Amino acid sequence: MDMPRAGWGNGRETVMRKAANRKALDLKKNWPGYLLIAPAVIAVLALSIYPLFRGIYLSFVNYNLVRPKDPVFNTFAGLENYRKIFANPIFLQSIGNTVKWTVVNLAAQLLVAMILALALNQKMKGRSLFRTLVLVPWAVPHSIAAMTFTFLYNANVGIINILAVKLGMLTQSVSWLGNIDSAFWCVALVAIWKGIPFQMIFILAALQGIPDSVYESAEIDGASRWQSFWRITLPIIKEPLAIATILNLIGILSCFNTIWLMTGGGPLYSTEIIYTFAYREAFINHNFGTASAASVILFLFMAVFSWIYLRMVSEKEE
Amino acid sequence: MLTKRQKERLRLTAAYLFTIFMVVTAMIPFVYVVLTALKTPEQIYDVGQIIPTYVTFENFRHVIFESNFLRYFFNSIFITLVTMAVSMVLAVMAAYGLTRYHILGADKIKMAVLMTRMFPGILLCIPYYIIMKQLRLIDSYVGLVLMYISFTLPFAIWNTCAFFSTIPWELEESARIDGCGRLTAFFTVIIHVAKPGLFVTALFCFMSSWDEYMYASIFINTTLKKTIQVGMQDFIGQYSVDWGLLMSAVTLSLIPILLFFALVQKNLVSGLSAGAVKG
């Protein structure tokens, strides 16, 4: 009963692949396989691929729900929606905020996650307990985290203000989330707090795959820990690290709940990223056309990273 | 100059200190949440009562018996379990088909599935609204579950494929030589071997739909149909917030997540990274 798996070759030759393709056409033998994947494929097509194209299409259509009787409603608009959003200073600000948001989150999460993973990779007592406990922020739902920190930042009852005033660091309570200078950083801090474990899990998994003998032989050769980190550890974990970073990046770009529930994009749009802008356009201003256009811009951002991710994953498989 | 042993100890101490610092950072917000949930309104505003001198369960009583909290809670449990079950059944079928049969363009299908995970939710949300309106699925759990499947299914397929492809074909073959049918071999061998991986995958489906807020807030209008993440906003009034109530609701809503978390923690690291890295 010879039935190698098609298209999964680990270094399989092209000839073999062609033979496999020919085999795949042998419907008599493989029809149950097609039947098995059909429901999932149909679901993905109907629930993801079709709405994606419909969304892209909407970005080229006049679709302002505030004026459904407008004669141009649901007609082709060309690039009008894009022209509108790029003429909107709030959208331009949201692009800047998105870049700032991404860089701040990613840099902080990568750095802390790396140190934490290295620490957890040491032979500590109670390591598995520690490992579980540091994952808690990741497991907590986004909206719960947002509510919790809104409470902690609160000017009247928040512990941060209470302690800061008590310790004499502040003379009076500060409305952290209502202040243009602090709101962005306070929300970013929550996203960082919540994002570190995810990034850390991947780094730790990669670190645990490195055998001790590698370090031992490096030590014999006289390499310091610092040197062996840069010359051995980093090159080995480079690939999983990159993959995790890109996955994390996509999460950071679509971090809607935390921002929306804490500040709603405010004050004065200082925490507005493209995602919240698109949401505001669609479900508060009821203009699906411009909202789709903004979402497509966000999608383009993400598509670049997704493409790199796919390239890495499939290269690994070849 | 430090000896090798001293260096080793120094490094370990640093590791302990940093880890403990991170554990404290991770846990302390929730310690304070629970403390607040146990306070009376006067205590919450009292600076001297950071750690309450006496505790009250009045907030919990109110949340459980006098609000819609339990209703929202079980709404979410229901939606989440249905989403998880449908995703897992479809994913296991698809993964078996993709890994055990010759499917034309199997790796292309897998890549396309993976790519859908990268679509921003807001870009799908807008057309969903139009589609669901046409299908009369607004304010309906069917519609909500369908949208949840759009993000749980691709993840489940990809992860399940990763687990199935690590199971050697010979294992199944020998079961079949022993006289098992293909279906029996599937249930006795594949499901058995992949069980830990499938469990973790199901848990992630559960957690990501439990976590979902945006779709639920847009598509569910009836108060009693709200999911827990949306329903929790009930405790936030327009002008004032009853922090004690909100924090006890937060505490209660974390119970299922922590429960699942405790169950799965052993396989968590391998389970989460398997699908993303191995493929």
Among A112, A201, A310, the residue with its CB nearest the CB of B115 is: A310
Instruction: For residue A98, give the H/E element and its range.
Output: helix A89-120
How many other C-beta atoms lie within 10 A of the C-beta of residue A83? 13
Q: Is the pLDDT of residue A167 over 80?
A: yes
DSSP A11-47: S--HHHHHHHHHHHT-HHHHHHHHHHHHHHHHHHIII
pLDDT of residue B272: 61
Residue A176 contacts B where some CB pair is shorter than 8 Å = no
pLDDT of residue A240: 80
Q: Is the pLDDT of residue A7 over 50?
A: no
114-133 in chain B: CB under 8 A from chain A: 114-116, 118-131
How is residue B239 written in tokens? Answer: 């002008």
Q: Is the pLDDT of residue A41 over 90?
A: yes
pLDDT category at A232 given cuts 50, 70, 90 is confident
pLDDT of residue A241: 84
**What is the nearest CA distance from A80 to chain B, expressed in angstroms?**
18
Test B277 with A205 for CB contact under 8 angstroms.
Answer: yes
pLDDT of residue A304: 84
For residue A156, the chain B residue with the least C-alpha distance is B45
pLDDT of residue A11: 45
B230 touches B216 (CB < 8 A): yes
Write out the residue limits of the CATH 1.10.3720.10 domain(s) in chain A: 80-317
Overall average pLDDT of the A61-87 stretch? 86
Residue A243 contacts B where some CB pair is shorter than 8 Å = yes
B117 touches B154 (CB < 8 A): yes
B275 touches B155 (CB < 8 A): yes
pLDDT of residue A17: 59
Average pLDDT, chain A: 84
Distance CA B44, CA B36 (A): 7
Residues of A in contact with B168 (CB under 8 A): none
Residue B23 contacts A where some CB pair is shorter than 8 Å = yes
pLDDT of residue A18: 61
B28 touches A149 (CB < 8 A): no
**What is the nearest CA distance from A181 to chain B, expressed in angstroms?**
23
Residues of B in contact with A40 (CB under 8 A): 90-91, 93-94, 113, 153, 157
Residues of A in contact with B90 (CB under 8 A): 39-40, 43
CA distances from residue A119 to A81, A127, A278 in whole angstroms, order as listed: 50, 10, 40
Among B50, B173, B207, the residue with its CB nearest the CB of A139 is: B207
**What is the nearest CA distance from B273 to chain A, expressed in angstroms?**
6
Residue A162 contacts B where some CB pair is shorter than 8 Å = yes
**What is the nearest CA distance from A73 to chain B, expressed in angstroms?**
14
Test A143 with B229 for CB contact under 8 angstroms.
Answer: yes
Please list the pLDDT of chain B residue by residue as tens digits (279 residues): 667 788 888 888 888 999 999 999 988 888 888 988 898 888 887 777 778 888 888 889 988 988 889 999 999 999 999 999 999 999 999 999 988 888 888 888 888 888 888 889 999 999 999 999 999 999 999 999 999 999 999 989 988 888 888 888 777 777 777 777 777 777 777 888 888 888 888 888 988 899 899 999 999 988 899 999 999 888 887 677 888 888 999 999 888 887 877 777 666 666 665 555 443
pLDDT of residue B143: 92
80-109 in chain A: CB under 8 A from chain B: none
Spans of all domains in chain B = 76-226+263-278
pLDDT category at A5 given cuts 50, 70, 90 is very low
Residue A226 contacts B where some CB pair is shorter than 8 Å = no
Is B76-226+263-278 assigned to CATH 3.30.1490.20?
A: no
B contact test, residue of A142, A157, A286 with most B CBs within 10 A = A157
pLDDT category at A20 given cuts 50, 70, 90 is low
A55 touches B123 (CB < 8 A): yes
In CATH terms, the fold of domain A80-317 is MetI-like fold (1.10.3720)
Among A141, A152, A201, the residue with its CB nearest the CB of B211 is: A141
128-187 in chain B: CB under 8 A from chain A: 128-131, 146-147, 149-150, 153-154, 157, 165, 169, 173, 176
Residue B197 contacts A where some CB pair is shorter than 8 Å = no
Please name the residues in contact with B168: beta carbons below 8 A apart, sequence gap of 6 or more: none
Distance CA A41, CA B110 (A): 10
Test B33 with A33 for CB contact under 8 angstroms.
Answer: no
Q: Is the pLDDT of residue A10 over 50?
A: no
In degrees and rounded to multiples of 5, residue B236 shows phi and psi of -95, 105
Distance CA A296, CA A281 (A): 13
Place of tokens 């370990």: B12
Residue A48 contacts B where some CB pair is shorter than 8 Å = yes
**What is the nearest CA distance from A182 to chain B, expressed in angstroms?**
19
A202 touches A312 (CB < 8 A): no
Residue B256 contacts A where some CB pair is shorter than 8 Å = no
| Residue range A187-231, pLDDT digits in tens | 999 999 999 998 898 888 888 888 878 777 887 887 777 788 888
Residue A259 contacts B where some CB pair is shorter than 8 Å = no
Distance CA B21, CA B89 (A): 41
| Residue range A268-311, pLDDT digits in tens | 899 999 999 999 999 999 999 999 999 999 999 888 887 887 77
Overall average pLDDT of the A49-77 stretch? 88
Q: Which of B205, B203, B217 is nearest to B258 (CA)?
A: B203
B contact test, residue of A313, A314, A316, A317 with most B CBs within 10 A = A313
Residue B107 contacts A where some CB pair is shorter than 8 Å = yes
pLDDT of residue A243: 79
**What is the nearest CA distance from B238 to chain A, expressed in angstroms?**
14
pLDDT of residue A2: 37
ipTM: 0.86
